């Protein structure tokens, strides 16, 4: 009888343990399965305090063979750079545009290959992030600028883009980059080079073909449109901001009103505006929906409102059920109006510096 009782207790205990183990396994398995199909992926903005203490990084003084700092203010630095030389193998440099709406091409710095974004929204010549500086142990001269957006000057001997070689270009660096993290582990670090308006303005024109995924730059030949093609033209101007950075401005009709907008090939969206500008625009548009969120900018994540409107007329183009991004903070100023690359996603656009014109080919003529 006592032996039978022990057997019953043992079997009952094993049954309870099996049941607990089974439920625990199911629970853990479900959690693991959820993690597989819903990975904990995050894009984070990482900022370094400085690069002066990084191994192999050499700090240059303000007067050296590469550049001379003429004056330095909290939000403005005047620099005299060594002569920059741009050499093209042919009269025109043709580049393969990488996938996506932004104007990414491939270039080489110190025999390392990097994505380079042709960014008219960047008013300087060349800007590299901290990862590029560390990869190549670039020589730097630190300073504080625009609340830490730019960290200083750096020396680049040459950069190669397609059949084009640029030697001793003016270059600045930042102390930040984006990282992709999965389950808390870093899987990717942004290594980005900005080919800004300061360099682009040295060319006669820049053609961006979003249909054939090509970019064309010319220093000696003028842009001439084929008479058989239909193009729209808008006045362009290169202006300087209070911080001595260049801005590319286009005069165009937006929602029935004349506007002066920044042309930014480094922005995805069709139209980005400040809150004050949106307050005027919304009275002229049929709003379908509105959502709040965040987006990546040069200074980290920023709050935005995404407005979907029934129709939006920009220039001669009518966009149906398109989105307008409204900046929650005035990081670009209260009168900010930015035209981005999504506006040109189905066509060809030419930035004609020689004649101060923006050419936009009508999609029906492609």
Task: Quick: pLDDT tens for 63-91.
Answer: 898 999 998 877 778 899 989 999 999 99
The Cα–Cα gap between 349 and 257 comes to 22
CA dist., res. 99 & res. 139, Å (int): 32
Domains of the chain by start residue, with CATH: 44-200 (2.40.70), 222-365 (2.40.70.10)
Q: Which of 66, 42, 366, 29 is nearest to 231 (CA)?
A: 366
Mean pLDDT score, 33-52 = 73
Better-scored residue on pLDDT, 101 or 6: 101
Q: Quick one: pLDDT at residue 105? A: 97
The predicted-structure confidence for 279-292, as pLDDT tens digits, reads as follows 999 999 999 999 99
Q: Are strands 337-339 and 257-263 parallel, antiparallel or unpaired?
A: parallel
Q: In terms of Cα–Cα distance, which of 266, 79, 74, 245 is closest to 155?
A: 79
Residue 22's pLDDT is 37
Residue 145, pLDDT score: 62
pLDDT band at 59 (very low <50, low <70, confident <90, very high): very high
pLDDT digits (tens, 9 = 90+) for 294-305: 999 888 899 999
**CA pair distance 175, 154, nearest whole angstrom:** 12
Q: Does the pLDDT at position 40 exceed 80?
A: no
State residue 11's pLDDT score: 39
**What was the pLDDT predicted at 72?**
80
Q: What is residue 91's DSSP assignment? A: S
Alpha-carbon dihedral angle through residues 269, 275, 277, 283, given to the nearest 10 degrees = 100
Average pLDDT over residues 307-331: 91
Q: Give me the pLDDT at residue 80, please.
A: 92
Distance CA 272, CA 172 (A): 26
pLDDT, one tens digit per residue, over 127-181 is: 999 999 999 999 999 986 655 578 899 999 999 999 999 999 999 999 999 999 9
Q: Is the dihedral of CA 262, 244, 148, 331 positive or negative?
A: negative
| 197 neighbors 206 (Cβ within 8 angstroms) | no
pLDDT at 107: 96
- What's the chain's average pLDDT? 86
Could you give phi then psi for residue 324, rounded to 5 degrees?
Answer: -120, 130
pLDDT value, residue 351: 98
Spatial contact of 236 and 357, defined as CB atoms under 8 Å apart: yes
Judge whether residue 319 has pLDDT over 60. Answer: yes
* pLDDT tier at 20, thresholds 50, 70, 90: very low
Q: What is the pLDDT of residue 336?
A: 92
Using pLDDT thresholds of 50, 70 and 90, give the confidence band for residue 9.
Answer: very low
5: pLDDT confidence band, cut at 50, 70 and 90? Answer: very low
> How high is the pLDDT of residue 146?
55
pTM for this predicted structure: 0.85
**How large a percentage of the chain has pLDDT more than 90?**
70
* pLDDT tens per residue, range 168-214: 999 999 999 999 999 889 999 999 999 999 999 999 999 999 999 99
Residue 59 DSSP symbol: B
Give the residue with greater pLDDT, 227 vs 285. Answer: 285
pLDDT on residue 147: 56
| Residue 114 in this model has a pLDDT that exceeds 50 | yes
Q: Is the pLDDT of residue 6 over 50?
A: no
């Amino acid at each position: 009888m006592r032996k039978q009782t022990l057997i019953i207790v043992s079997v009952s205990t094993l049954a309870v343990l099996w049941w607990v183990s089974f439920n625990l396994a199911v629970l853990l398995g479900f959690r693991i399965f959820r993690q597989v199909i819903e990975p904990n992926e995050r894009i984070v903005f990482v900022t370094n305090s400085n690069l002066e203490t990084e191994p192999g990084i050499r700090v240059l003084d303000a007067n050296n063979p590469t550049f001379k700092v003429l004056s330095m203010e909290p939000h403005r630095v005047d620099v005299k750079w060594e002569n920059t030389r741009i050499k093209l193998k042919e009269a025109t440099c043709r580049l393969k545009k990488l996938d996506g709406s932004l104007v990414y091409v491939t270039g080489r710095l110190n025999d390392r290959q990097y994505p380079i974004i042709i960014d008219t929204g960047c008013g300087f010549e060349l800007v590299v992030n901290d990862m590029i500086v560390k990869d190549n142990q670039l020589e730097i001269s630190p300073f504080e600028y625009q609340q830490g957006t730019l960290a200083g000057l750096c020396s680049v001997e040459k950069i190669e883009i397609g059949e084009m070689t640029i030697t001793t270009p003016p270059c600045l660096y930042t102390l930040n980059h984006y990282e992709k993290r999965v389950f808390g582990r870093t899987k990717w670090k942004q290594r980005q080079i900005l080919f800004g308006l300061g360099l682009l303005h040295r060319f006669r024109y820049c053609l961006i073909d979003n249909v054939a995924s090509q970019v064309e730059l010319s220093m000696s030949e003028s842009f001439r449109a084929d008479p058989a093609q239909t193009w729209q033209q808008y006045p362009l101007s290169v202006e300087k901001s209070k911080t001595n950075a260049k801005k590319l401005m286009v005069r165009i009709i937006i929602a029935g009103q004349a506007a002066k907008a920044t042309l930014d090939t480094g922005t995805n969206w069709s139209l980005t505006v400040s809150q004050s500008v949106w307050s005027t625009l919304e009275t002229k548009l049929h709003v379908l929906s509105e959502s709040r969120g965040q987006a990546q900018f040069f200074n980290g994540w920023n709050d935005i409102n995404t407005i979907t409107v029934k129709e939006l007329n920009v220039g001669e183009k009518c966009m149906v059920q398109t989105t307008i991004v409204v900046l929650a903070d005035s990081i670009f100023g209260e009168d900010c109006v930015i035209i981005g690359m999504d506006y040109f996603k189905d066509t060809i656009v030419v930035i004609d510096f020689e004649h101060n014109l923006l050419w936009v080919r009508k999609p029906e003529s492609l």
